[in-house]
Amino acid sequence: MFTPAMTNAELQHEAYLDFLELKGPVGIAFSRFRRQVNASSGKRYYIHNITQTKTYRTRQNNTWQIEFHSNYYTQKNAMIGGYVIYIPLHRGERTDFIFFRSIDDFYPEKVTAHFVQRYKERYLEPNNINLKGMTPALYFQRNSDDMRPTDFYPENWSEEDKVNKMIWLSNQGLFVTSMEDKMRVYITFLDQENLSYYKALIYEEENMMRLFNEGKKIKDTIEQAKQMACIYKQPNARKIQERYLRRVTDYDFPDREEYIMNCLRAWDRMVLSTYQLLDKMKELGEEDAIRIK
């Protein structure tokens, strides 16, 4: 049974025992739910966000909440939906949550009380979000399927923070996690200042890449070199390029780091060849430079 004094390692062990027990019953119940809400005989359902909730008490005396939900229907009337399995962990005045997004693999997630409080203050309340009866933690889990990792770090983070924590982006905003063994721990939801700073960095990256792509379209070699030199002379141009590459390159891309480094080496070669051409132009003089285009 989960107890308030458990460490994260003990929580994971307890959760694993329950996970093994939950796999079969949840799989069967979800299949039954899909049959109940699937459109059949050519009929079309127009009810959206159908939900069904259940509880399951394990042999470890832990009571898990299970929510099945439909998201949308395909053109062939097949329901696309999912489920969330979670349990509140009461620790005095604090309540953490352990979630499973899937029963295919053991991958627990702990949403801390601190995270929930910051999420309420920095996203739910400012945006007047209607939770429709869900707890804030459940609402977050239901609406964070689009989360993707970033290489963004707040300015006040230490090197240790950068090693041990990761920042994610979703349509809801930025949030911080850490990994403890196999459990992802949601630590905090970042404030608007950090989100604004992150957006400013993206704007800087996108603006430079727009100028870069426009420069590549210039057919006149000398004019193109002048345009590209203006880009390369921007403060931290190479760092901006690296940030851009890390943001847009999929984390699951094979040999991701090698790909990024190859792109940066190509950038360095372009910078070198551009300045070499401009130096040659200065040596020959403008009139002779025209003839070598």
90, 26: one domain? yes
Chosen domain end from 190, 224, 247: 190
Longest dimension (CA), the chain: 87
In tens, the pLDDT along 98-126 reads 999 999 999 999 999 999 999 999 999 99
Q: Residue 50: helix, strand or coil by DSSP?
A: coil
Question: Do 115 and 186 share a structural domain?
Answer: yes
Give residue 41's pLDDT. 46
Q: Are residues 135 and 229 in the same domain?
A: no
Run of H or E including 110: strand 109-111
Structure confidence by residue, pLDDT tens digits, 245-261: 999 999 889 999 999 99
Q: Give domain status of residue 57, yes or no.
A: yes
The arithmetic mean of pLDDT across residues 204-231, rounded, is 94
pLDDT in tens, 14-70: 999 999 999 999 999 999 988 887 755 455 555 556 889 999 999 999 999 999 988
How many folded domains does the chain comprise? 2
Residues 106 and 213 in one domain: no
pLDDT at 51: 87
CA–CA distance, 211 with 215 (Å, rounded to integer): 6
205 Cβ neighbours under 8 A, 6+ residues apart: 240, 243, 244, 247
Confidence of residue 217 (pLDDT cuts 50, 70, 90): very high
227 C-beta neighbours (distance < 10 Å), count: 18
Lowest mean pLDDT among 144-153, 183-192, 260-269: 144-153
Alpha carbon distance 197, 243 (integer Å): 14
**Exposed/middle/buried for residue 219 (C-beta within 10 Å: 0-12, 13-18, 19+):** exposed
Give the model confidence (pLDDT) of 135-158 as tens digits.
Answer: 999 999 999 989 999 999 998 999
